[in-house]
Amino acid sequence: MGEFDLIARYFTRPVRRNPLGVGDDCALLQPAPGMQLAVSTDLLVEGRHFLSTVDPERLGHKALAVNLSDLAACGAQPLAFTLSLSLPQVDERWLAGFARGLFALADTHACELVGGDTTRGPLCINITVFGEVPAGQALLRSGARAGDDLWVSGTLGDARLALEAFRGTVSLPQDVFEAARRRLEQPQPRVALGLALRGLATAAIDLSDGLAGDLGHVLRASRVGAAIEGTAAAGLFAAGRGGFRLPEAQVQDLVFAGGDDYELAFTAPAGRRAGVEAAAMRAGAPVTRIGRVRAEPGLVVVDAQGVARPVDPAGFDHFGGP
């Protein structure tokens, strides 16, 4: 217990939002009148979600970032989080770095640690995050309507590109690798954009598993389909914007099945284009219109010649990795 009390000390800070502070049996939270509490939880396991060699400061950032990204996708304002941490041993250098990265991002979003649990075991990190959203205004997956525009924030594919470089299936110039690695290890959750899209977007999701898969959740929940313009999608590939070239099939893999992008994909009525663009500008988040929601189920990509091909999830594997 003694050394795990020590761990707890790294995560004990003055608390404003929870009237108890960390350390009673429960944390107490009280959403403002008329507000709902948005709750999301993510479990990160060493070897599966991060490499054992990752900088602990970046890991602390990412563990919270992936949760804040879920709040962003619901248009919720971050409030608080709990942290459960299982560690093989107490490594003070590691803990200090992890706490630094975690709290730097938490402070950016005024999101407070209100409780948690630490134990000895395999390296696992579970964060549960709480946000506030006016009742009935959360952005859901189920609101997309035929005719809506389909939008994506930022750029896609860099995180997967870095992963492929770590795996040795692609060789990258140093500057491309460093930029891609930052995207993989320090994703920036689109919290401001999620808030700005309340009342504008009809549906939203954050892109953690890849555009094709995550968009599929929206389309199924909304009982619609979508057509994506291939050229617009290819233009989302971040490293490509910097002039780095890859075979077209690999760019498609990165954009449609990249994963770990933590951008938002969302839908909005065509009549709200100016509103969406103004909201994105206010939020400091570039957005790109990449297609259209349609009544026919399924996801298709339309090429420059206007030919629509269904997106086949099994078709994304042009790196030949392990």
Chain residues in the site for a copy of itself (CB under 8 A):
1, 20, 23-31, 33, 35-43, 45-49, 70-71, 73-74, 76, 82, 84-86, 114-122, 124, 126, 128, 130-131, 133, 135, 138, 140-142, 204-206, 209, 213, 217, 221
Cβ 63 to a copy of itself, closest distance in Å? 12
Q: Which is it for the CA torsion 190, 191, 193, 194, positive or negative?
A: positive
How would you class 82 by CB atoms within 10 Å of its CB: exposed for 0-12, middle for 13-18, buried for 19 or more? middle
| Binding site, annotated residues for Mg(2+) | 25, 40-42, 70, 117, 206, 209
> How many other CB atoms sit within 10 Å of the CB of residue 63?
24
Cβ 161 to a copy of itself, closest distance in Å? 20
Tokens for 255, please give them.
């954009």
Cβ 58 to a copy of itself, closest distance in Å? 20
Nearer to a copy of itself, 73 or 180 (CB): 73
Tokens for 73, please give them.
């996708």
| Binding site, annotated residues for substrate | 49, 260, 316
Distances in whole angstroms, Cα of residue 239 to Cα of each of 67, 78, 95, 183, 197: 25, 30, 33, 11, 27
Nearer to a copy of itself, 28 or 308 (CB): 28
Cβ 10 to a copy of itself, closest distance in Å? 16
SS3 state at 84: strand
Nearer to a copy of itself, 6 or 43 (CB): 43
| Binding site, annotated residues | 25, 40-42, 49, 70, 116-117, 141, 206, 208-209, 260, 316
Q: d(Cα 153, Cα 238) in Å, to the nearest integer?
A: 12
| Binding site, annotated residues for ATP | 116-117, 141, 208
Q: d(Cα 49, Cα 123) in Å, to the nearest integer?
A: 11
Nearer to a copy of itself, 35 or 232 (CB): 35
